[in-house]
Amino acid sequence: MSFSWAPEVIEFFGAPGEFPSVHRPVGDVATRRSTMEPVHAMIDAAQPRPDDVVVKDFETTAGDGAKLLLRWYVKEGAQPGAAVLFLHGGGMILSSVSLYDGTVSRYVSSSGVPFLSVEYRLAPEYPHPTPVEDAYAGLTWLTEHAGELGVDPARIAVMGDSGGGGMAAGLALLARDRSGPAIAKQILLYPMLDDRTTTPDPALAGLATWSYEDNATAWQALLGPACGGPDVSPYAAPARLKDATGMPPLYMEALELDILRDEDIDYARRTAAAGVSTELHVHPSIPHAFEAIAFDTAVARRMKADRVRVLKGL
């Protein structure tokens, strides 16, 4: 049998042939920003924003001297303990901390765990290694300010979705290889991990919402001429990791109708094979980021429940 959308996907989007597709040529970052960022804003505002989460902005300095926004979210009355460094999605070429305000606030309200969201700089204006180095600067700041924020520095996780999930994995590797700051867990939601995912899978034709053209555009923006070649850093494309020994425990979500599925499953397999505690969920019959759009579906509720459980367990 061939793949197909789950009934709840069809109920939301219509049949695959009815779903409006937008052709965006490879390399056209501007059009992707102008069409996808309003969708991110719509997703972020579609659910009520919790009124029990306090937000405060901080600033840190990146390695090249640039000033970076760090947005801190904490639930009122929260006890000292764990924290999450969060990296937003958008293929490393679009979106922002502000476009994830509601999303992050809902994680914080549901789990009681505070989040620090990093406004890392985007490709192609800032190619690798700038985005992951910005994330590292945010992690360093969070660790250095853990005491005043009520954070246990031994209980800091990194988390992200899509492009932000790939950056979270790259940040975990960078921190491992630099001997700190320590990371307690990787929480990776259908992350972008491999710049070599370029050959279309016929079984996903008409079913994937993040296209091969989108993927190629994002990776080429981040990596330039090196994209797909032999010399790509695993800090940029964590699927290039040769040895996962010593990486933080992993929680991974992969989606069956996502072009990133196989690279995500393989990353989790290799992590487990290296003796790293690994939890992998492969959600059948749904495409990239469906649960964020259709947040009231059964699959979205299951995914949120798992994420909140993992956050509470930090």
139-170 pLDDT per residue, tens: 999 999 999 999 999 999 999 999 999 999 99
Taking residues 129-134, report their average pLDDT. Answer: 98
pLDDT value, residue 124:
98
Distances (CA, A) of 34 to 5, 69, 134, 253: 27, 22, 24, 28
Is residue 300 domain-resident? yes
Give the model confidence (pLDDT) of 193-238 as tens digits. 999 999 999 999 888 999 999 999 999 999 999 999 999 999 999 9
Closest CA to 90 of 171, 33, 163: 163
Is residue 57 domain-resident? yes
pLDDT band of 5, cuts 50, 70, 90: confident
Is residue 2 domain-resident? no
For residues 187 and 205, the model is more confident at 187
Give the strands of the sheet with 67-75, arranged side by side. 53-61, 67-75, 115-118, 81-87, 151-161, 185-189, 250-257, 278-287
Is residue 70 domain-resident? yes
Domain of 109 in residue numbering reads as: 7-312
Q: Phi, psi at residue 218, to the nearest 5°? A: -65, -50
Q: Is it the case that residue 63 has pLDDT exceeding 60?
A: yes
Is residue 115 domain-resident? yes
Helices 163-177 & 130-144, crossing angle to 10 degrees? 70
Is residue 1 domain-resident? no
pTM equals 0.97
CA 276 to chain centre: 20
Catalytic residues: 162, 258, 288
129 preceded by cis ω (within 30°)? yes
pLDDT value, residue 164:
98
Closest CA to 160 of 185, 133, 182, 195: 185
Report the relative pairing of strands 67-75 and 115-118 from DSSP bridges: antiparallel
Residue 239: strand, helix, or coil: helix
Q: What's the CA dihedral at 227, 86, 145, 67 to 10 degrees?
A: 50
| Alpha-carbon span 228 to 195, nearest angstrom | 6
Is residue 39 domain-resident? yes
Is residue 205 domain-resident? yes
| Alpha-carbon span 19 to 293, nearest angstrom | 14
| Alpha-carbon span 312 to 314, nearest angstrom | 6
The domain tally of the chain equals: 1
CATH number for position 119: 3.40.50.1820
Closest CA to 20 of 31, 7, 4, 35: 35
